[in-house]
Structure 1
Amino acid sequence: MKILTYDAARFADLPDYDYAENWTEIDFGDGLEGRMHYVDAGPKDAPPVLLFHGEPSWSFLYRKMIPHLVDAGFRCLAPDLIGFGKSDKPDDIAFYTYDRHISWLKQWRDAVVPQPAALFCQDWGGLLGLRMVGEEPERFTCVTASNTFLPVGGTPSPAFLAWREFAKSSPDFKIGDLLQRATATPRTDAEIAAYDAPFPDEASKAGARAFPALVPVEDGMDGIAQNKAAWQGLAAFEKPFLTLFGEDDPVTGGLSQHLIDRIVGAKDMPHAMLETCGHFSQEDRPAELAQGMIDTARKAGFLA
């Protein structure tokens, strides 16, 4: 197996993404090491908000939200998950597991922002972030979740099964086009190119192809026991927990109610289903999502 590093030339002149590069060394396991890239925007002493992306995007997804959050007084930290963005990419699909992604992201957090922080999460950013909240609720001050869930088996929807098979076997796995199809507003050619930038060839897409098959949506899958244990802490999370989901997301759009019904901190929060909003809600409704995060942090007393 090879650890692929990013080609800086492919990330030149990205629209609305002129953030300095930051890096953390990560123990991949099996004697391997690599680097995780992240955005760090805003004053270092400001209240931190963690921005976790999902599949198959990267921190570029948050470029429209970060200015709103920084202006409100946040320090924004947006990592690129291993296998995505500018972060290093093992080229073996089988190397990626749910537990390894949790370990890699926790290593990043422990190194970069160990203090309590707010969380915004979407897609796999929620499968990772919500599990981290459940396992260590004291390290999170509030949460805003969009188009995500914390699965514990069951019966997957036909839409998800189709997506899982497509990611696994389709020879036409173009990341930028996927982002275009899963948003309710159009992307520019430059934006599509930015989502393609981390993936110059098939080997670099191993992490992106692996993720859908790791979602524990069927009984007996790895991650179910860990997620069930995490749900105990997540359900008891008393701090403000807001859901803002896109109405036009066919896979996760209807899953917000499960979070609202089970999590203590979700009670009496102004949850919303956003119109003209697809799966990648950060592209379609960035201002509304940022304001939701700001209001939630203020309700928590975490942001002035």
Structure 2
Amino acid sequence: MAIEERERTRSDADRPWSHEQAVVGDVRLHYVAAGDDEDPLVVLLHGFPEFWYSWREQIPALADAGYRVVAPDMRGYNLSEKPPGLDSYRMEELVGDVVNLIDHFGRDEATVVGHDWGGAIAWETAIRRPERVARLAVLNAPHPERFREELRSNPEQWRRSWYMLWFQVPALPEKLLGARNAFGVGRLLEESANPGTFGDDDLRRYREAAARPGALGAAIHYYRALFRQQLGEQARRLVGRAEPQRRLRVPTLLIWGEEDVALGTELTEGLNDYVSDVRVERLPGASHWVQNDRPERVNDLLVEFCGETE
């Protein structure tokens, strides 16, 4: 175990989780795990610019409820491996990491929970590999087709999503967000959250994770690779070669903080066209960082949803 991992483990010594590593597919992932090995598996996928720590309130709640909980640092983030090149962060690779992680724990399926970018990956995993997803819970991340639909018809959503275009600029976003020990990352979190959501220690941890060599560039590559893939998808649609969107049949819970500065509440509507079994829970007053703003409510919703049977 590396020195930085030993230090992180010591600082979390009073928490009911362990720090582990696994090679899944062609990438080494660091993850935090809690709960008994034989319990049903729940995989928690974090967003940008976070790491496993964004689930600090949900990990013990789900473990106490009888689940084997795994929260990885996604590829490129914090202590996980940071493969080079834009192609390493294509959606196919990110979905593959989730499936391979489920394989690593010897399971046929898992409940997959994702927030922000982790939510985007969770949606795509359920869409592309529904047989591996028992249940799907997404926090403040829109269904991919519903998001494309909103971008085509709503200029306000384009205004909210300006940062996605800014991230296409080479090198500059990494330089600005990473300056002064990732000061910009802490500021981004503070300015988009409700007052008091993140304490000084929380912000220090996020900044430290983002300041690791190569971490910010890898995280921003998620946006760059997606943008490139979306251009290719639009081209295929124009010539009639795009595959039709399949209606998702995995039981789905969408939790949405209504004060999200980047994603409008309109994105929670019209989902029945894309998902056959979906429940939407909108939380007034909660920001984009809904699991940190309203941890007890989110915990209750996730525990209830994970325990439902078809």
Query: Does structure 2 retain, via aligned residues, the 8 Å contact 1:92–1:206?
Result: no
Q: Does 1:83 align with 2:81?
A: no
Deviation at 1:110, TM superposition (A): 1.9
Aligned position for 1:157: 158
Query: Does structure 1 retain, via aligned residues, the 8 Å contact 2:260–2:288?
Result: yes
Aligned position for 2:180: none
Aligned position for 1:147: 140
2:99 maps to amino acid: K
User: Residue 275 of structure 2 is aligned with which of 251, 256, 263?
Assistant: 263
User: Residue 23 of structure 1 is aligned with which of 17, 21, 24?
Assistant: 21
1:272 maps to amino acid: E
Q: What is the distance in 2 between the residues matched to 1:106 and 1:197?
A: 28
Query: Does structure 2 retain, via aligned residues, the 8 Å contact 1:247–1:273?
Result: yes
Q: Which runs of 5+ in 1 are unaligned?
A: 29-33
Q: Which structure has more RCO (C-alpha within 8 Å, separation ≥ 6)? A: 1
Q: What is the distance in 1 between the residues matched to 2:191 and 2:294?
A: 16
Q: Does 1:298 align with 2:307?
A: yes
User: Residue 109 of structure 1 is aligned with which of 97, 102, 106?
Assistant: 102
Deviation at 1:128, TM superposition (A): 1.2
Deviations 1:112-142 (A, max 9, x none): 2532221211111122111111122222222
Between structures 1 and 2, the one with greater helix share: 2
User: Residue 115 of structure 2 is aligned with which of 118, 122, 127?
Assistant: 122
Query: Does structure 2 retain, via aligned residues, the 8 Å contact 1:23–1:37?
Result: yes
Deviation at 1:148, TM superposition (A): 0.7
Deviation at 1:202, TM superposition (A): 6.2
Aligned CA-pair RMSD: 3.1
Q: What does residue range 198-237 of structure 1 map to in structure 2 within 5 Å? A: 198-200=209-211, 203-216=214-227, 220-221=231-232, 231-232=245-246, 235-237=247-249
Counting aligned pairs with the same residue, the percent is 22
Q: Which runs of 5+ in 2 are unaligned?
A: 178-183
Query: Does structure 2 retain, via aligned residues, the 8 Å contact 1:23–1:35?
Result: yes
TM-score calculated relative to the size of structure 2 = 0.79
Q: What does residue range 42-191 of structure 1 map to in structure 2 within 5 Å? A: 42-90=35-83, 92=85, 95-152=88-145, 153=148, 155=152, 157-165=158-166, 168=169, 169-170=172-173, 171-173=175-177, 174-186=184-196, 187-191=198-202
Number of residues paired by the alignment? 285
Query: Does structure 2 retain, via aligned residues, the 8 Å contact 1:64–1:286?
Result: yes
1:278 maps to amino acid: S
2:194 maps to amino acid: A
Query: Does structure 2 retain, via aligned residues, the 8 Å contact 1:151–1:217?
Result: no
